Amino acid sequence: MSFIDPAQGLPMTGLGRPLNITDDLGKRAFVNEDMALYDLFAFHLRHGRSMIDGISFTGCRIEGPAIMLILPGTTFDAVNFGESKGDIGNLVLRPVRNMAIGAIPVINCTFQNCEFHALGFTGNEQILSEILAIKAVG
């Protein structure tokens, strides 16, 4: 299910097109399709996969509420990480120890020209520092 209720009309995304909720969460490549990250993860779990692995997203809107655990091989290119209220740190959570239970593991995925909504991000220190460095841009 979407963060935005389709019954109330499909609003424009920040991608210059109306919301377009994917009808196939099993794809390996999504183009101009939108989804909730927890729905995608639940789909993969039901199919015996414990991570979202090797999927490409182009021009997609990915919604929460969810925390994405960024694992190696995942890349972001021209992505809107979402409303940060002026501090990119507001999108970042740091694991207290060495696990991130409750976060959705995303590995070897590519996000290009995507926008995120109501998503937070966690990962290892290197990944977190790369995200936190975004605030230096602009």
Partner 1 sequence: MTDINPSAAAAPSPDVTRTAFEGESIWLPRLSVEHLNAGHDAIRGKTFTECLIEGPAVMLPAGDVVFEDCHMGTASSPQNLLLAPVGDLVTGAIGMADCRFVRCRFLYVGFVGHEAFREMFAAGVPSLSSLQESGQ
**C-beta closer to partner 1: residue 31 or 124:** 124
**C-beta closer to partner 1: residue 57 or 121:** 121
Residues 70-109 interacting with partner 1 (rule: CB under 8 A) = 82-85, 87-105
Selection from 109, 104, 112, 106 nearest residue 31 by Cα: 112
**C-beta closer to partner 1: residue 87 or 130:** 87
Residues 11-50 interacting with partner 1 (rule: CB under 8 A) = 36, 38, 41-42, 45-46, 50
DSSP 88: G
Strands 104-107 and 61-70: parallel
Contacts of residue 48, defined as CB under 8 A and 6 or more positions apart, other chains included, come to none
* Residue type at 80 in one-letter notation: N
Provide the minimum distance between the beta carbon of 8 and partner 1 in the complex, in angstroms, as a whole number: 8
